[in-house]
Amino acid sequence: MIYVVGIGPGSKEMMTLEAIKAMEDADVIVGYKTYINLITEFIQDKEVVQNGMRQEIDRCKQAVEIAKTGKKVAVISSGDAGIYGMAGLILELTTKEEQEVSVKVIPGVTTSIGAAAILGAPIMHDFCHISLSDLLTPWEVIEKRLKLAADADFVICLYNPRSKGRSEHLARAFEIMGEFKGGNTPVGIVKDVGREKEEKFVCTFDTMDFERVDMTTMVVIGNKSTFIHDDLMITPRGYTV
Amino acid sequence: MIYVVGIGPGSKEMMTLEAIKAMEDADVIVGYKTYINLITEFIQDKEVVQNGMRQEIDRCKQAVEIAKTGKKVAVISSGDAGIYGMAGLILELTTKEEQEVSVKVIPGVTTSIGAAAILGAPIMHDFCHISLSDLLTPWEVIEKRLKLAADADFVICLYNPRSKGRSEHLARAFEIMGEFKGGNTPVGIVKDVGREKEEKFVCTFDTMDFERVDMTTMVVIGNKSTFIHDDLMITPRGYTV
């Protein structure tokens, strides 16, 4: 049995009851070491399999092998396991090899939702998620999505917005979106949602400071109706108030 | 104090600890009556303000008035309060009138995430949410978003896909997306996510049965890589497995 568990952005408060129960029920916890550090209270007396970035395939293969021995395994992802998390990889592995391993995906609060709650209500209307990481997606596909999403006036949430190896992606993304997003469009930035060092900034498209952003940051770009009030970012649903 | 609480799709299991604590801490619970029925265990000995569909503004104004008297109010939304929920309206009201009422938005698992976990892993890559309700959004805007989102090869999650008064919207949406989404594109349908009558169907764009869909249904349309395996719908992240 494999539970693929979304643990939410970081704090226990943002975990679902089901996620907590799955981790308590598991014999083995498998995860990226940074995320294991967020759930230390759930790993007492359990076997833990952890490794580093870009070792997702190894990690998931190990989880499947352990589950085949009859143990209950919880594979953890931050946020929701089904959004840029481990649910896909686990299911790709088990379906490809016709493995007789039960898989249960346990949903969690993804980082855009956690960030939105801190910013106010920026994703109240139609929105999209775009990851700026081109490790697994051709950059042309990402550029096309940025352009069409901006043209469609979606609120846009950027995952993996900026790493040391890809420090220019975010500026390029803003350049592309700038064809349709006005300079006054509100932009919300939340670092380390639900974790100790959580920080929040609200600015506009024109005053965006790319240096504030790293890989643990969520960037939310408003639509044509989004407004800023004090430090809140609000996208109206369309009610006349 | 107003807590704007996302209670998740329906079951207690999918609530976050923070959502549960907020409801327990509140003196008054405010919500749409259908959602109040999902949280009966939390309303014992509490004042409850509930009303019907399309009375969102009244409901939120009442919540603000009650909070001004010093009571702690929990305004509940199904899913996440910040996604087509009550967070925006509450903040629009309190910021517009410069009300001295504290507001805390408490994130929840939105229905697309709950539905995705049941379907397998359909939203593993870039995706968007589009509501097909034109009560608060001009239909032309919705059509434009559908077209551009399909062209961008987003996985597309449709909220409010079909009501009695708008039974043709969904078919029209498929017609628009059909310019870019091939006939074999997987489509996942989940009714009443996390509730008693939960039902799941997986089909393709060409074999879509619109009659299965009502207002409590989530419709997820895959991207060019999404595949079906048995009754699972999986969108690869891009790993070579």
The pLDDT tens digits of the residues spanning B77-87 come to 999 999 999 99
Residues A232, B91 contacting (CB under 8 angstroms) = yes
pLDDT at position B71 = 97
CB within 8 Å: B14 and A17: yes
**Which residues contact residue A190 at a Cβ distance below 8 angstroms, ignoring those fewer than 6 apart?**
A114, A115, A118, A119, A198, A199, A200, A201, A217, A218, A220
B167: confidence class by pLDDT, cuts 50, 70, 90: confident
pLDDT at position A67 = 97
H-helix or E-strand containing A139?
A: helix A139-151
CB within 8 Å: B128 and A141: no
DSSP character string of A92-152: HHHHHTT----EEEE----HHHHHHHHHEETTSSSEEEEE---SSS-HHHHHHHHHHHHHT
The pLDDT tens digits of the residues spanning B177-233 come to 999 999 999 999 999 999 999 999 999 999 999 999 998 999 999 999 999 999 999
Name the residue among A96, A107, A229 with its Cβ closest to that of B114.
A107
Q: How far apart are CA B10 and CA A229, in angstroms?
A: 32
- Which of B3, B5, B16 to substitute to test the interface with A, most A CBs within 10 Å? B16
Task: Please tell me if residue A131 touches chain B, with a CB cutoff of 8 Å.
Answer: yes
Classify residue A113 by burial, with Cβ atoms within 10 Å: 0-12, 13-18, 19+.
buried
Task: Please tell me if residue B236 touches chain A, with a CB cutoff of 8 Å.
Answer: yes
Residue B6 pLDDT > 90: yes
Residues A176, A143 contacting (CB under 8 angstroms) = yes
Name the residue among B18, B130, B152 with its Cβ closest to that of A145.
B152
Residue A60 pLDDT > 90: yes
Mean pLDDT for A98-123 is 95
Task: Please tell me if residue A76 touches chain B, with a CB cutoff of 8 Å.
Answer: no
**Which residues contact residue B136 at a Cβ distance below 8 angstroms, ignoring those fewer than 6 apart?**
A237, A238, A239
- Give the right CATH number for B2-106 from 3.40.190.10, 3.40.640.10, 3.40.1010.10, 1.10.630.10: 3.40.1010.10
| End-to-end CA gap in chain A | 50
Q: Which of B72, B78, B25 is nearest to B56 (CA)?
A: B78
pLDDT at position A163 = 84
Q: Which of A117, A112, A110, A124 is nearest to A16 (CA)?
A: A110
The pLDDT tens digits of the residues spanning B28-61 come to 999 999 999 999 999 998 999 998 878 999 999 9
A236: chain B residues, CB-CB within 8 Å = 88, 92
Can you give the residue ranges of every domain in chain A? 2-106, 111-234
Comparing A38-42, A158-162, B19-23, B98-102, the range with the smallest average pLDDT is B98-102
Residues A196, A138 contacting (CB under 8 angstroms) = no
Nearest CA in chain A to B85: A124
Tokens encoding B85: 């929920």
Task: Please tell me if residue B151 touches chain A, with a CB cutoff of 8 Å.
Answer: yes
pLDDT at position B139 = 97
The topology under which CATH files domain A111-234 is: 3.30.950
CB within 8 Å: A145 and B153: yes
Residue A99 pLDDT > 80: no
B93: chain A residues, CB-CB within 8 Å = 241
Mean pLDDT for A186-209 is 96
Q: How far apart are CA B86 and CA B77, in angstroms?
A: 6
Residue B176 pLDDT > 90: yes
**Which residues contact residue A94 at a Cβ distance below 8 angstroms, ignoring those fewer than 6 apart?**
A2, A64, A101, A103
CB within 8 Å: B234 and A91: yes
Q: How far apart are CA A112 and CA B26, in angstroms?
A: 26
pLDDT at position A25 = 97
